Structure 1
């Protein structure tokens, strides 16, 4: 194996590692409300979500094409740049997952790649028009659009069912939530799995394996689909609690309305090739479901903290990506890429080890967001 082959293999492995972290980081986008309302048991929810993420990954490649050729000039991208960008995005993902903050994995990935590209070739290598049109504008608008749809949907379902007894109504909407949550998982696969496909395709183009503008090969699509579905099955319990309990006390009608709104917005954006943040959409939908229900408690202070994390994601991941590139480039060649790969592995192990420390339990993380401890799911539900 030549040095270039080794670097390419490390880049692909790291990209699939990011896809895995994307899966467990974003499980809450699809299943948080269904778990909280009791529509699905935790492990059943994440298993269903994993399968549908896998299916969704095969339904579209429009977002993958945006990532591969629509954001940076592939002629200025090297394997070292791609590796550095992935390193920055994974480190940000791990940090926000550890803190239970539903930040955007998508924007972490894009920020890392853009930051590393700028460090290597300057701002001229970034396609700013594409970045604004297909990333920043959708990021700004999607939570409001999803929130408005969820608010209207929530208002209507309560209005239409106002004469139905609470018990039958909740039971009926919990059944409906199974379908709406499944649609969010399917939509998540059509959008989020595509981003890693795009990055691996970009690496293959940089290596000369594929020509500029090439689409993702079947093995790339399959491996990315499997990686994100495995990550989804592991389940990001910290983020699930923050989304499901931190923002609004969700009831089944609200859950179905918010999930339906999320699925509609994500699937629409995928059709246009927009690299949307499913976290932004899910959060906007949950907030909208609180606005649409009379006398619902919406914890706006928590929403403000989440928005602050969103604003920092692109630049923070970009800075990490740039730093990773400077380290790798400073060492030079294959040794530089191997070095940041080893650092990434060590950092990942440290985050996972720290997450098991009793001083930072999921309950404590949730309490930090809500101001009160919310009981965790039964241990046998989480572990079974």
Structure 2
């Protein structure tokens, strides 16, 4: 994997989520990557923080327990419950991102029955713990039934799946952003070629009609070149709010490309009501410079009044002297087929 799990998710938000879980249920958690780095931790017991993790011998046992849990998880179990060598019980489940095991969600520091006081008192003496303080910390360790542990782990398995999906979405966003950057670079290169061509033509033709004719010829060649890609190119002129689509627009929604020229509001009204706010927010992010690239998926109504999914990408390609955006150019692609595979309908 190109990215570590910590690079794909908002660790601070996950920490807050785990803290809220602990506040509500008293179930402690931790998220560790496969190298043993603790990414989040919530509600760890005093017996571990103040005793087991501070003593060299008992801390070494903790590390052994973590490694053994990780090895058992590699065997394909949905989750594992492990008896720690320090006398407590831990449990863990895996986090997958796009089928790859990247991290684990842990809970633990609990018991399934009343503790063996002789074992813990002997452990206190063996490792030099203050026996009474150690026993007092032991008294704060919860005792769970096997049924409760099962319910806790079923929840954490679901949470691990959600975290994996978050990581995958971020990975896909970065992949899409990289593709858009490549597309924009190609468009920029095409623009440079066309600009150079027009400059040469200006030296050869003085009449405006000849310039317009040549420009139209180049535009037609450009549109023919992209027709086989399934992409529609759009050009939004922010100065007059005119919206231009290449002629392949008709094959997507059933409209002639000219039906939306100069009428962006007409196009926006065909976007699904549940998606309109998201479209406005993402557009505002690009126009205000909060993000460089526009990347969005939403539903739009075709000429037969049926909704379909489209993926829309774009970038500001022209600004004025005050760095205000003047033109936004990008691509629009039908992704209804992929959305249906993911369980999304057309509506």
Q: Same fold (TM over 0.5)?
A: no
State the TM-score bracket (shorter-chain normalisation).
Answer: under 0.3
Structure with the larger RCO, 1 or 2 (CA within 8 Å, 6+ apart): 1
Q: Higher helix proportion, which one?
A: 1
TM-score, normalising length from structure 2?
Answer: 0.23
